[in-house]
Amino acid sequence: MQIPEAVKNSLSKWIKDTGPAGDVVITSRIRLARNLNDYPFPSRLSIKGRKEIVDKVDLAVNDESFDTDIHKMHAVRLEELPAVQRQIMVEKHLISPQHARSEDEGGRAVLLTDDETVAVMVNEEDHLRIQVLLPGLQLNEAWKTASQVDSALETKLTYAFNENLGYLTCCPTNVGTGLRASVMVHLPGLAMTQQLNKVLNALSKVGLAVRGLYGEGTEAVGNLFQISNQVTLGRSEEDIIKNLFSVMKKIMEQERSSREMLLEGGTGVRLKDRIWRAYGILSNARIINSHEALSLLSDLRLGIDMEVVDHVDAKILNEMMVLIQPAFLQYIAGQEMSGDERDVFRADIIRQRVCRK
Instruction: Report the amino acid identity of residue 92.
Output: K
DSSP 56-119: HHHHHHHSTT---SSPPPEEEEGGGS-HHHHHHHHHTTSS-HHHH--TTT---EEEE-TTSSEE
**Segment 48-84, tens digit of pLDDT:** 999 999 999 988 888 777 766 666 788 889 988 888 8
Question: CATH fold of 5-258, please?
Answer: Creatine Kinase; Chain A, domain 2 (3.30.590)
**Segment 277-335, tens digit of pLDDT:** 999 999 999 999 999 999 999 999 999 999 999 888 888 888 888 889 999 999 888 88
Model pTM? 0.89
Name the residue ranges covered by the structural domains of the chain: 5-258, 264-355
Q: For residues 149 and 57, is the Cβ–Cβ distance under 8 A?
A: no
Rounded Cα distance, 196 and 190, in Å: 5
Rounded Cα distance, 287 and 295, in Å: 15
Three-class secondary structure of residue 215 per DSSP = strand
Q: 271 pLDDT band (50/70/90 cuts)?
A: very high
